[in-house]
Chain A
Amino acid sequence: MIEFTIWDILRNLLLATRWTIVLSFVSFLGGGIVGLGLLFLRISKRKSLRSLARYYIELFQGTPLLMQLFIAFFGLGLFGVDVPAWLAAGLALILWTAAFLGEIWRGCVEAVAKGQWEASASLGMGWLQQMRYVILPQAMKVAVPPTVGFSVQVIKGTALTSIIGFVELSKAGTVVTNATFQPFTVYGLVALIYFALCWPLSKSSQILERKLNVAHRNH
């Protein structure tokens, strides 16, 4: 029987970690862009647009991410589209992330005092100008901590993509376990790597929250 050193195991896991990072990054970025679109729909003046965004958000928040991954992976296959695992994983995670970020940011926009809308309107600004120059700059301050905090959920969410065969950290853990028969060591290391990715983000979210609150002290 071949002997595996800890380093052998760790090296393979770290190589796969690259894909966890890439997938998280793509999901977060893509989700951010789609989420921004959702935010604008969600607070638009047209009721139909608001409802559309609300249904989208409720659908994606109300079903497990795992189901969304399956549907993206197998569902599209029914229509004769051959979806590679990386595409299904990226797509599902982007749409899922967008639903949460859109809703988080809506809360942040609504946290801006009503007087800010009234004052900027009284000065003759149109809706887009109000958003761009008055509301979003203030909402962004509120949004930074929860957004950074949510990025932790995205990283952990990528673990599910192992089930549709995307080789990232969790999938690599399974593969390495099958070769080494050392599940405790392998998954222990997997957990430590996830922790090393997530903990700095959680921590910085906390620090940002404290910092930005100070800047916000009188409002």
Chain B
Amino acid sequence: MSLIEITEVRKSYGENEVLKGIDLDVAPGEVIAIIGKSGSGKSTLLRCINGLETINKGSISVAGAQLLDDEVHLKALRLKVGMIFQQFNLFPHLTVGGNVMLSQMVVKKTPKPEAETIARKMLERVGLAHKFDAYPDELSGGQQQRVAIARALAMQPIALLCDEITSALDPELVAEVLAVVRELAAEGMTLLMVTHEMKFARDVCSRVVFMHQGRVHEVGPPEEVFARPQTPELKQFLGLH
């Protein structure tokens, strides 16, 4: 059974159709890298999965929760998929601990002591337990992104969407974030990531999806996609001639 089912999804901004019928099924525990040129629709696809963008046609469901455009359904869906952003988007007015505790208390109504225990555990997991009382602006980019991961994990999602989560980081900080993601993958978390880290995609992902002009152009296990690209577009994207 698939965990995430994306069927015939179309999305337009006015006249401009950015997703032209996407079909993709993700099994539990799969780690999927979505690659492609900018403007190919990969970020849009990711943002459609948890309803940050509305779709025009088709359907998306995550573990039985349908994507429908009302607050009740959206909330049910978003409890199943977490999302991590390129710009971290931590809440600057809250401490690191507060960031990880807020949605547990507000959305799940978890009592504060319990939320704090979970927050500490999740921060431990990303190696930042000692930063519990720091504010986001006191952390490096890599640390902020790891807090964002802990914040998403604290909601105990079944799957995580990662939207170019290392693209805003200095090169030396990329590794610490990827190490956390690698660990999550090893623990069996279902991951969908839009990424430019080809080496990481090759090492960690179970499947690679190459998007081109709003369509899934090529899909397969990394060894195949990277070693034997079938289409000229993918060859060009990978820099092979």
A-to-B contact residues, CB < 8 Å: 113, 115-116, 118-127, 129, 133-134, 137-138, 141, 216-219
B-to-A contact residues, CB < 8 Å: 50-52, 71, 74-75, 78-79, 82-83, 85, 87, 89-93, 102-103, 106-108, 136-137, 148, 151-152, 155
Whether the pair B137, A218 counts as a contact (CB closer than 8 A) is yes
Whether the pair A123, B92 counts as a contact (CB closer than 8 A) is no
- Which residues of the other chain, B, contact A218 by a CB distance below 8 angstroms? 92, 136-137
Instruction: Name B93's closest neighbour in chain A (CB-CB).
Output: A137
Whether the pair A122, B102 counts as a contact (CB closer than 8 A) is no
Whether the pair A138, B152 counts as a contact (CB closer than 8 A) is no
From B87, B107, B148, A129 is in contact (CB under 8 Å) with B107
CB distance from B163 to the nearest CB of A (A): 10
Given contacts A122-B50, A122-B82, A122-B83, contact A138 B93 (CB under 8 A): yes
Whether the pair A124, B93 counts as a contact (CB closer than 8 A) is no
Whether the pair A123, B152 counts as a contact (CB closer than 8 A) is yes
Whether the pair A119, B137 counts as a contact (CB closer than 8 A) is no
Whether the pair B71, A120 counts as a contact (CB closer than 8 A) is no
Whether the pair A125, B106 counts as a contact (CB closer than 8 A) is yes
Given contacts A121-B52, A137-B93, A219-B137, contact A126 B87 (CB under 8 A): no
CB distance from B69 to the nearest CB of A (A): 12
Instruction: Name A141's closest neighbour in chain B (CB-CB).
Output: B93
| Assembled-state Cα–Cα distance A189/B96 (Å) | 54
- Which residues of the other chain, A, contact B85 by a CB distance below 8 angstroms? 115, 118-119
- Which residues of the other chain, A, contact B87 by a CB distance below 8 angstroms? 115
From A116, A118, A129, A217, B106 is in contact (CB under 8 Å) with A129
| Assembled-state Cα–Cα distance A116/B71 (Å) | 18
- Which residues of the other chain, B, contact A216 by a CB distance below 8 angstroms? 92
Instruction: Name B72's closest neighbour in chain A (CB-CB).
Output: A126
CB distance from A40 to the nearest CB of B (A): 16
Candidate in B90, B92, B136, B152 with the most chain A CB atoms within 10 angstroms? B92
| Assembled-state Cα–Cα distance A182/B155 (Å) | 73
| Assembled-state Cα–Cα distance A115/B142 (Å) | 18
Candidate in B75, B79, B103, B152 with the most chain A CB atoms within 10 angstroms? B103
CB distance from A133 to the nearest CB of B (A): 6
- Which residues of the other chain, A, contact B52 by a CB distance below 8 angstroms? 118, 121-122
- Which residues of the other chain, B, contact A122 by a CB distance below 8 angstroms? 50, 52, 78, 82-83, 152
Whether the pair A127, B71 counts as a contact (CB closer than 8 A) is yes
